[in-house]
Chain A
Amino acid sequence: MVNSASVSYNQALEIKNLSRSFGSKQALHDVSLPIPRGGVFGLIGANGAGKTTLIKHILGAHYAETGSVRVFGFDPVTHPVEVLSRIGYMSEDRDIPYWMRVQEIMNYTRSFFPKWDASFAEQLREMFDLDPKQRIRTLSRGQTARVCLLLALAHRPELLVLDEPSSGLDPVVRRDILAAIVQTVADEGRTVLFSSHLLDEVERLADRVAILHEGRVLLEGELDAIQESFRRITLRFEQAFSEAPSILGAIEYRGSGHEWTYVCRGDREQLIQAAKTVKAEVVHEASVSLDEIFVCSVNRA
């Protein structure tokens, strides 16, 4: 295990057949995700889809019931120091010790990371306009999030893990967080994993995405490839239908009367062929937003 870790890993993270249940609730079901180094990986899912549970496995807070989790080749449960010193983590609760002052938590966190960049931390603190003497408890939600972000970034982690980073935050702080993701990934080799249900963020930032639903991975791959594989095609039929006529290859439809809109994945030609046989003409064709892809995938599951 340790030997394999010393080999240069081009996977930042490797999750294989991971399943986990809490009591009767199956939180993760046979999840396999390779997350390559250098890039932004977006984890999409509704609340309770298992995003946080998955992230906790990466941090070693849960052991793998079946399957395995490797972070830079290390098992996070048995090698916490090796794994966690490479990770900058920001939890969705932003549960940093509320009684500390900003400077205190910076000093405290610093002592754990040999690679802590004090001048960078100071630069971030000034940029975020944080008063070093102020207590975390008295900070606004946005400022607390900025402190968390600072703590996650200041040791220049190889892997930045952000769990719902922008939930409940104002646009200014959200911008800071997104900019941090961009800057992190712009430095070569560094990787970002973030979960979100704000899909426009994911669409802007992610190279790869995975859609998680009820503990299963519905869809995983490069965002561009996924987006290009989905098409939305509007067909006009000669006669009006009260229910959508079934067309081969369509995974989602809506509309009324003569015009019906179908979403297909991959097999566009097949759908157009099928449309011709029922004498429908293609009136409009467009690419599909991540939002729609998510809704389609979840509805289909």
Chain B
Amino acid sequence: MQIHIQAQDGVPIYLQVMQQIKYLVASGRLEPGEELPSIRALAEQLLVNPNTIARAYRELEVAGVVEKRRTAGTYVAENGSPLARKERMKLLKERVDQLLVEAFQMGFDLDEVLKLVGQSELAARNPKKGD
């Protein structure tokens, strides 16, 4: 599981962990039913306080993204799809917002952006042509 913490940017670390796990789940890199690393292992890997990881897991559990099982492990929730969809929309919206801000600042209008998105989509579908 690839998580990268940046201590300096002011976002509390538990939030960073939460957001990145949500992103990993939403983008399908963590599949439903997959076991997450233990709190201790993740804390040692990221060199952050285990309590912070515990809090992130707890809040993810409340949000329904993950679930605790009797074996004390933490797993990605099986029935997470409706929530995951909502999350996905939210994540996407954030990125679209960012894209639009940058586009407007650089002097492109909405049509040009949409056109670009269309082109990119085409290229993504046929990677060989795009290259």
Give the interface of A toward B (CB within 8 A).
39-40, 175, 178-179, 182-183, 185-186, 199-201, 203-207, 223-224, 227-228, 232, 286-292
Contacts and interface: CB of A to CB of B under 8 A. Distances in A.
Nearest to A185: B50
Given A179-B44, A186-B43, A207 B10 contact: no
Contacts, number: 67
B14 A182 contact: no
B47 A205 contact: yes
Given A179-B44, A200-B7, A203-B8, 5 more contacts: A40-B49, A182-B48, A224-B55, A289-B9, A290-B10
B contact patch SS = helix
A288 B10 contact: yes
Contacts of A39: 49, 51
Interface residues of B, number: 21
A182 to B, nearest CB: 5
A294 to B, nearest CB: 12
B12 A227 contact: yes
Interface string B1-41: 00001011111111000000000000000000000000110
A204 B47 contact: yes
Given A179-B44, A183-B44, A186-B40, A203 B50 contact: no
Contacts of B48: 182, 204-205
B12 A204 contact: no
Contacts of A200: 7-8
B12 A228 contact: yes
28 contacts: A39-B49, A175-B47, A183-B40, A183-B44, A185-B49, A185-B50, A186-B39, A186-B43, A186-B44, A200-B7, A200-B8, A203-B13, A204-B5, A204-B48, A205-B47, A205-B48, A205-B49, A207-B51, A224-B12, A224-B14, A228-B12, A286-B10, A287-B11, A287-B12, A289-B8, A289-B9, A291-B8, A292-B10
